Chains A and B, each alone.
Chain A
Amino acid sequence: MASIPLEHVLLLSAALFCIGVLAIVTKRHAVAILMGIELIFNAANLNLIAFSQHDPKLLQGQVFALFVIVIAAAEAAIALAIVLKVYQHFNTVNINEVDASQG
């Protein structure tokens, strides 16, 4: 069983990260921006797991990726609660229209 080359996994992770950055920069809907942030978390996890492949005794990369997933879950819960609060207050979640001086 051949193992996957490390560089290819890193390139895949870099591509995923850049697509996440693209989503964050271009999207105007707050939930779409959150989806870009999830892509960036997953790119970081892929890097950690790719290096953990060469560390079968300690598995530190995989344990760290587990903590990243936990923090991502907490972040998603908080961020969506804030999005709902913003929607109740401004009646929109388009971040270009959310302005404290207008609300």
Chain B
Amino acid sequence: MVLILFYTFAFLMLCTALLMVFMKNLLHAVFMLLITLLSLAAVYVLLMADFLAVTQLMVYVGGILVLILFGIMLSNRGDTIFIQSQSGNKIMGGLLSFMLFGGLVYIIARTHFSQLSWIKQSETFVSTGAKSTLHGIGINLMTNFALPFEVASVVLLIALMGAAFISSQIK
């Protein structure tokens, strides 16, 4: 059941991501990206990362996509209703990414990740019977990752102030 759901969402994700690249209309491409991110959140749930799935929904789908939509709306000339996105280097770009994918598939097939010693010895969520990762992530953020957590908050503050400064400056 988990495997069927995983392959379904993986297929949906790859199809919508490819459609996002080949869509002429930029707004349609944004909605394809929305479906890609939603199915990625579903895959996170299947990989026992429930907190990350909720964060994905809130930050990416709720935040970044709205930001991208604002960017598209505010940066078109207003002469056309449909915002077209031109593309170039189609043959070379396709060849490059296809060769990159071939190389990655070759490496993944050669490495035998599931035969690695620490993965073979490790216990998974199924064997420990853990229900939610929220407790573990909370403990980790306040103990082992306390400094990165604080630095991330400062980075977010500086980024928001910088974005407001850049976009409001009068030349």
Contact = CB atoms under 8 A, between A and B. Distances in A.
B137 A66 contact: yes
Nearest to B86: A28
B85 A54 contact: no
Contacts of A6: 113-114, 119
Interface of B: 1-3, 6, 10, 13-14, 17-18, 20-21, 26, 29-30, 33, 36-37, 40, 43-44, 46-49, 51-52, 55-56, 59-60, 63-64, 67-68, 70-72, 74-75, 77, 83, 85-90, 92-94, 96-98, 100-101, 104-105, 108-109, 113-114, 118-119, 122-126, 128, 130, 133, 136-137, 140-141, 144-145, 148, 152, 155-156, 159-160, 162-164, 166-167, 169, 171
Interface in A27-79: 27-32, 34-36, 38-39, 42, 45-46, 49-50, 52-60, 62-63, 65-67, 69-78
A12 B100 CA distance: 14
Contacts, number: 245
A15 B114 contact: no
Interface of A: 1-12, 14-23, 25-32, 34-36, 38-39, 42, 45-46, 49-50, 52-60, 62-63, 65-67, 69-78, 80-85, 87-89, 91-94, 96
B26 A29 contact: yes
